[in-house]
Structure 1
């Protein structure tokens, strides 16, 4: 057993060569596979979720919120585009923070991402099941069967092999984007921006003739809308988790993540402009809608084809569900391989070379949480908690990880200036600091919302369990995985 005196008391155990032989991944992904992985993970947020910020900030407030969040994600993605080819390991965010901030920094960053990647697909599958219940008119009580069915289907696709997984990712992502493009084109003849997008008054009431103020709730309303603007970009940061399954991560990772963020920027501003502007929809209604894109389609094409349109709307949810299950598996796999999580979770499939144990375990945890909520507090209240509180937990976990990744970038620039950097962020350290500041402002406004505060308490419980496990057990049984070896050989002045 080896001891690292500079690593906060972490101790490493020796493993034989078969340990890593049982934990190998297969390389397949190129630039477009990585692009699809990033865009697909986010795209459901362009179908719904973002629109709730309209009730808080109005259209103008939501625009400002989106611009601020866009700056945060540009700072984040450019930082990741530099770090991921310099540290091309599956650990992603954990790997960056481990090298820059030590074992505890790496673990806490990984734990925050774990909250995001376990709970986000759970919430998405809840929304999918709600759509399917309406389309096929099944009883609400049967929704858990829809959850299980979709988890089994997309776990199977992810386990069968990385080749099939990335092919499905590309297909569903292109399909989800195609639906959005059809909406944009169809919406143009039906928009009246001033009449419908600006139909919220200063007192929050609906203005029947529109022409309301740009900022009905002032700049405070715009800042309060920031947590909802996050939905337009949330999870783009998962790309580095595919580093060890990319043919050439040093070349392809920066291209994939930057192509992804600029695709999402275009889509975000198109949906923000057009969806509230469609005649018969409007910002006031969308501010409380659970299906804003579907509302837009109904206003354009009529409600007679509602079920067909609902199936179309499910495509975006499926794209994100499939890709975040991929990320969930790799994230658990990387922390387990290094010993932060139980090491058995990182064993990969003997022939498929996919982290099937990690994906199945993460999915079972998510389903257990959903079942406990659903049956523990009743269907109606359980649905609200799954659709609201669990989702807010995922967002808070993401914000914490963004702060840690940006700080890791800053530390790596300062303390390891000479490591090979195939790509250098043109935004540099100032861009990373902007990410930190905007993420913290977003967290502040999350905490000002009682619903978000409940989610934050949930994350705190998750952290306490993880920290106790790491402190009393895992940190004395670590393994020198690729992420740990790199960090040990490039110790920074922390």
Structure 2
């Protein structure tokens, strides 16, 4: 790579690179239509139906988790409509980083991209822990060897090629959805309203059978309600590998969100309602615990065995697809110079192999803690920061660039994104109520990444990167105009 010029724009320095730079940083074009994109959106999230959400029962009881889930369903639905518009305007592999970059400049772009990266690097680690719990229930074997095996196999599949990976992911997701439907049907005969409220009320303010941990329990349950939907926002990261992204990204996002809303409602009602909230609130494999509880089938049956075996597909689907997401986020940030540039190198099959391996190694190390609930909090911390910045980007771009081409427009406009923004701020604070120290660790990581940007990478950005090029040209033209 040869440096031909440096452009100073809005507190950052952009280096012009030669064509060979991008020849080694190319993704495979046109690999996904809207059906695959919708499947990708569901795959990102579907593991949240199999494990993770139930920890919210231990924070807010069923009533607290219900209210928290309704609030987060509202936030995600409003945000998805906002992201549908943004992705149709700015269809690049940077996703949320690209949106915030356009709205708030390089600082906003980096802070958003880093938050998404934190979310997507940690979420697979949490899912790996839950995979270990399900394999332990199924074959009596779990722990770190299982975590390592899954990382090696599924990072390896992504290294082979994106088209193959997305198609396999779609099949796995369809199988996982079948397991959820079998679970719902099997639990309906055992449903009892009393089971929902079997957690004894505490002496907290506002405590009752509906809210056993009081009003504050609603807030504390929010990070686990988020687990029903976390990562749907990753669909725009597939922009450069999608067919007709301006049309298919919005459609894939919205269809995927509708499917997730249905699954969340079913699982939240029939799981605790069939087995009892107290029975599954601390389980690493709540669907199996529910089926085998005394209130349901009282032990191992072919149904629990089926859901256990096939249910692994749900965890695998999210694990598999979020590996895709983190690699594309690292790729985009690295290609633009925000992260070390070697991370965006692609191989002969046009897959970002270093961006797959490095975060995967970090995720495996985190999974060794075995603390799935605490890893969820770390992922949610990064996610909520990105949600705040992405929804704010929608509002700013609507105000600042009203004439920008918008192939899809958000119903309700800035009112919709404003609702998502307010609820994202509420969700951001919620993590501190559960375990402030875990969120503090995530914040330290975020601070170190921000320091890297301010002291180094903002002076070495790449002018021709897709997310940066428009702004560099616009600023340069404005400066030339001013000189004239």
Fold match, TM over 0.5?
yes
How much does 1:5 deviate? 4.4
Conserved? CA contact 1:199–1:283, under 8 Å: yes
Describe the SS at the equivalent of 2:461: coil
What are the superposed Cα offsets for residues 353-406 of structure 1, whole Å, 9 maximum, x if unpaired? 111121111112223444xxx4xxxxxxx323xx23333111100000000001
Conserved? CA contact 1:84–1:240, under 8 Å: yes
How much does 1:276 deviate? 1.1
Question: In the aligned structure 2, how far is the partner of 1:288 from the partner of 1:365?
Answer: 26
Counterpart position of 1:483: 467
Residue among 91, 108, 113 paired with 2:111? 108
Counterpart position of 1:91: 94
Conserved? CA contact 2:202–2:214, under 8 Å: no
Aligned counterparts, 1:158-169, within 5 A: 158-169=158-169
Describe the SS at the equivalent of 1:303: coil
What are the superposed Cα offsets for residues 141-164 of structure 1, whole Å, 9 maximum, x if unpaired? xx3322221111101111111111
- Pair 1:364-2:361 in alignment: yes
Describe the SS at the equivalent of 1:225: helix
What are the superposed Cα offsets for residues 94-137 of structure 1, whole Å, 9 maximum, x if unpaired? 00000100101100111111111111112211221233344333
Query: Number of matched residues?
Result: 464
Question: In the aligned structure 1, how far is the partner of 2:6 from the partner of 2:404?
Answer: 25
Counterpart position of 2:377: 392
Residue among 386, 391, 409 paired with 1:401? 386
Question: In the aligned structure 2, how far is the partner of 1:399 from the partner of 1:190?
Answer: 36
Counterpart position of 2:320: 322
Conserved? CA contact 2:52–2:376, under 8 Å: no
Q: For structure 2, which runs of at least 5 residues remain unmatched after alignment?
A: 479-484
What are the superposed Cα offsets for residues 264-303 of structure 1, whole Å, 9 maximum, x if unpaired? 111101111111111xx11122222222211222244552
Residue among 251, 258, 269 paired with 2:254? 258
What are the superposed Cα offsets for residues 67-117 of structure 1, whole Å, 9 maximum, x if unpaired? 111111012111100000100000001000001001011001111111111
Q: Greater shift after overlay, 30-39 or 478-487?
A: 478-487
Residue among 433, 444, 448 paired with 1:465? 448
Conserved? CA contact 2:279–2:289, under 8 Å: no
Conserved? CA contact 1:42–1:232, under 8 Å: yes
Conserved? CA contact 1:57–1:218, under 8 Å: yes
Pair 237,114 (structure 1): closer, same or farther in 2 beyond 3 Å: same
Aligned counterparts, 1:8-27, within 5 A: 8=11, 10-26=12-28, 27=30
Length-normalised TM-score, structure 1:
0.89
Counterpart position of 1:182: 182
Counterpart position of 1:208: none
Pair 363,214 (structure 1): closer, same or farther in 2 beyond 3 Å: same
Conserved? CA contact 1:120–1:394, under 8 Å: yes
Question: In the aligned structure 2, how far is the partner of 1:158 from the partner of 1:307?
Answer: 29
How much does 1:485 deviate? 1.0
Conserved? CA contact 1:294–1:313, under 8 Å: no
- Pair 1:238-2:238 in alignment: no
Conserved? CA contact 1:297–1:309, under 8 Å: no
Counterpart position of 1:331: 329
Conserved? CA contact 1:406–1:433, under 8 Å: yes
Describe the SS at the equivalent of 1:288: coil
Question: In the aligned structure 1, how far is the partner of 2:262 from the partner of 2:215?
Answer: 24
How much does 1:307 deviate? 5.2
Describe the SS at the equivalent of 2:350: coil
Counterpart position of 2:482: none
How much does 1:308 deviate? 5.0
Counterpart position of 2:341: 343
How much does 1:441 deviate? 1.4
Length-normalised TM-score, structure 2:
0.91
Question: In the aligned structure 2, how far is the partner of 1:216 from the partner of 1:367?
Answer: 36
How much does 1:175 deviate? 0.9
What are the superposed Cα offsets for residues 447-468 of structure 1, whole Å, 9 maximum, x if unpaired? 122x2x1222112221222122
Conserved? CA contact 2:65–2:218, under 8 Å: yes
Residue among 342, 352, 355 paired with 1:355? 352
- Pair 1:144-2:132 in alignment: no
Conserved? CA contact 1:43–1:316, under 8 Å: yes
Question: In the aligned structure 2, how far is the partner of 1:3 from the partner of 1:79?
Answer: 35
Conserved? CA contact 2:51–2:130, under 8 Å: no
How much does 1:224 deviate? 2.6
Aligned counterparts, 1:244-283, within 5 A: 244-278=240-274, 281-283=275-277
Residue among 451, 457, 462 paired with 1:474? 457
